[in-house]
Structures are given as structure tokens and as C-alpha cells.
């Protein structure tokens, strides 16, 4: 049994009394969706959530997909506590505000092995151990649901590790697995999961047909319109600190022409994902942002559709960099992260040399 005494996050709100208790519906497999043997095996594990108490834990600076998965599990299953490592992103905070205080988020819950209020931990949207430090020691003994590159080392030691790299979002996996064990998709769960799909497909701009079909299914099950979700995740917020960080990132940026592609990079101390996205939005094929925290250097990357269509995979790129440097990295083709105990100058030189090797061998379609 895993223990945890927790401190509420600054935006934690008490659940409202009128929020319905999750109930189990008859098994709903056979509604026209193909369910693989891997999903069926995982469904038996997710069935655990009907009894006992569950801590759902999302990665550092939890994004909308991670928080959407967490909220959906709390909406569909009983006795679920939502946790996050270190912080919750601005987008995820906007999503939380849409539920009028129904769901609390515990940042950095205290977890140990004695006197636990939890019977299990479920990690969602977790690509690498470094994303959930210091909770990474529980990965091998917990349920893990992810959609990034398969972590073969974790798969070897954890029979409850479920990874679908082809899934555009983690929310789609949570939906399939939950419905398979009889969970009812209410409006809260539907809003949270569709928000996750929209966020990880860049508002459907890079969405395959499967993401659109799953979105329509979830909206119908939850009795929502797509406009309800758009309103929830696109609340206009002026953040002066973010504006200043973006301006600093732009001033410090530099670019390199590598074959038929442009790699742009910069350094910034906050809002790294937004800075990397801005580099790509201004025309770079690959944008990489470095940040330092003591002896640790982190990289946040984004890749354009042009680069991805040509065969570039940022998650695999960071995995190769991990083997070269002893760091930890991975993610999607178009969005990924990396962390290593190396000086930033040394790491930037190493990944630039690797990028020259990888990008020069690709031709845009």
C-alpha cells in the first residue's frame, strides 16, 4: 500500500456536493470500436479503480492532456485524488477553472509506504522517469498509461505499463480503457478528455482521422458540443511574465541552416514550451529551448509539420542524445523534452552536431 499525506495546491477547491458520484455501467465493448488485445489486458488492470483509493499523478508542469486524463479518471471512477509533480501549466489551470471547483489538485503529494490512504498510483502521460522525479521510483509498481515512445526498460519490469505511441493523445487511451471496464462518460469526463485531444493535436491541425472520430464519440457520450470545450481551454489571459519571457527568448535566439531545414534555438528560464513553439511558428523547422536549474540543463523542443513529414522525430532525436550524454529524454515526433547533468554550452554543441547529422539526411516532401 502506498501512502500519501498531501498539501493542497494554491488553486485547489473543495468538491461541490452536487457533483454526481461515478457509477459503473454495463460493459460497453462492442460499440463499433476495435479494441486490441493489449487494450483488453490493460482494461483488467484499470478495473482496479472501482475499489480502494487511487492517486492519479501527472508529470511536472502538467499540460492539458495530462490534466484532462486526471480529471476524467476522477469523474468516471470513485475515490480518485488528482496529483501533479511540481506545478500545473497555465493551460491546465484554465481547464480546471471550467469545473467550478469540482476537482482539487494536490501538487507534490507526500507518498511513502506506511499508513497510506492510497491503494495504487496511476501515472498518466509520462514519457520519461525524469518527468516525475522524485516519484519515478514508483513507476515500476504502478499503473502507467502513456502515448509517447515506448520505454522498453519500464515495459520489461511493469506488466501494468500501457503505451500506445500511435495515439495522438493520452486522453484517447484513457477513454477507451475506461469505457471497456464500464465507466460512464459524463460531461466532466468528456470535456476533460476532448480538451486533452485538442491540446495534443494543436486544435486538430495535426490530428489524424482517429482523433476526430474519438472526439465526436466522446462529445456524444458526454452530451457536449465542441464549442463547450473550446471555451474551456481558450480563456483569454494576459500574463506579463510570459510576455517578458517570450521577448527575452526572441532576443537570445539564433538559427542554423542544416540541409533543407532551419534549426532555431534560444535560452530562457520559464515558459520553455511556449518559447519553442514560437520559434517554429516564426518559420523554424526545429525549435529547441534550453533552461538551467543548478547542475541540470533541460531542453524543450518543437518540430514543424514539414520536418515531421520528412521523417524527423524529435522524441527519437532526444533519445539518441540521451545515449550520447547519459541524460533522459523522449516524447512525440513534434514535441519532446530532455534533461541532463551537463553544462548548457556543452549540451547545445552536442545536440547541434547530432542535428546536423540527422537533418542533412532528410528531404522535405
Of 178-182, 252-256, 305-309, 329-333, the one with minimum mean pLDDT is: 329-333
Please give the Cα distance from 157 to 180 (Å, whole number).
25
Q: What is the DSSP string of 106-141?
A: EES-EEESSS-SBSEEEEES--SGGGGTTGGGGGGG
Of 14-18, 22-26, 76-80, 125-129, the one with minimum mean pLDDT is: 14-18
Residue-range domains of the chain with CATH:
3-233 (3.90.1640.10), 240-359 (3.10.310.40)
Instruction: Extract the C-alpha cell encoding 89.
Output: 501549466
Q: Percentage of the chain with pLDDT > 70? A: 87
Residue range 62-92, pLDDT digits in tens: 999 999 999 999 999 999 999 999 999 888 9
Residue 124 has pLDDT above 60, yes or no: yes
Q: What is the average pLDDT across 268-284?
A: 94
Please give the Cα distance from 97 to 93 (Å, whole number).
6
Q: What is the average pLDDT across 97-104?
A: 90
Residue 171 has pLDDT above 50, yes or no: yes
Please give the Cα distance from 164 to 180 (Å, whole number).
16
Of 35-49, 186-200, 305-319, 343-357, the one with minimum mean pLDDT is: 35-49
Calculate the alpha carbon distances from 82 to 92, 102, 175 in Å: 13, 12, 17
Amino acid at each position: 500500500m502506498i501512502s500519501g499525506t498531501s498539501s493542497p495546491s494554491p488553486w485547489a477547491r473543495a468538491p461541490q456536493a452536487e457533483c454526481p458520484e461515478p457509477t459503473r455501467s454495463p460493459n460497453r465493448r462492442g460499440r463499433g470500436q476495435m479494441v486490441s488485445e493489449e487494450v483488453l489486458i490493460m482494461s483488467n488492470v484499470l478495473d482496479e479503480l472501482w475499489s480502494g483509493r487511487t492517486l492519479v499523478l501527472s508529470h511536472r508542469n502538467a499540460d492539458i492532456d495530462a490534466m484532462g486524463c486526471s480529471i476524467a479518471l476522477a469523474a468516471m471512477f470513485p475515490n480518485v485524488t488528482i496529483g501533479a509533480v511540481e506545478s500545473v501549466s497555465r493551460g491546465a489551470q484554465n481547464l480546471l477553472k471550467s469545473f467550478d471547483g469540482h476537482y482539487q489538485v494536490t501538487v507534490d503529494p507526500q507518498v511513502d509506504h506506511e499508513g497510506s490512504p492510497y491503494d495504487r498510483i496511476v501515472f498518466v502521460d509520462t514519457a520519461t522517469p525524469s518527468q516525475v522525479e522524485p516519484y519515478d521510483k514508483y513507476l515500476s509498481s504502478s499503473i502507467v498509461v502513456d502515448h509517447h515512445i515506448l520505454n522498453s526498460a519500464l515495459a520489461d519490469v511493469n506488466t501494468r505499463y500501457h503505451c500506445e505511441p500511435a495515439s495522438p493523445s493520452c486522453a484517447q487511451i484513457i477513454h477507451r480503457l475506461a469505457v471497456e471496464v464500464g465507466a460512464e462518460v459524463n460531461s466532466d469526463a468528456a470535456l476533460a478528455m476532448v480538451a486533452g485531444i485538442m491540446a495534443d493535436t494543436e486544435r486538430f491541425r495535426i490530428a489524424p482521422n482517429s482523433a476526430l472520430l474519438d472526439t465526436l464519440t466522446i462529445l456524444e457520450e458526454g452530451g457536449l458540443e465542441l464549442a463547450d470545450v473550446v471555451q474551456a481551454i481558450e480563456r483569454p489571459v494576459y500574463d506579463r511574465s510570459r510576455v517578458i519571457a517570450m521577448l527575452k527568448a526572441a532576443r537570445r535566439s539564433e538559427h542554423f541552416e542544416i540541409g533543407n531545414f532551419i534549426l532555431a534555438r534560444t535560452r530562457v528560464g520559464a515558459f520553455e514550451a511556449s518559447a519553442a513553439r514560437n520559434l517554429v511558428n516564426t518559420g523554424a523547422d526545429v525549435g529547441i529551448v534550453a533552461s538551467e536549474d543548478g547542475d541540470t540543463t533541460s531542453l524543450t523542443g518543437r518540430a514543424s509539420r514539414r520536418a515531421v513529414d520528412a521523417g524527423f522525430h524529435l522524441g527519437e532525436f532526444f533519445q539518441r542524445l540521451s545515449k550520447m550524454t547519459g541524460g533522459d529524454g523522449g516524447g512525440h515526433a513534434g514535441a519532446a523534452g530532455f534533461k541532463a547533468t551537463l553544462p548548457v554550452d556543452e549540451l547545445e554543441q552536442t545536440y547541434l552536431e547530432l542535428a546536423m547529422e540527422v537533418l542533412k539526411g532528410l528531404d522535405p516532401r
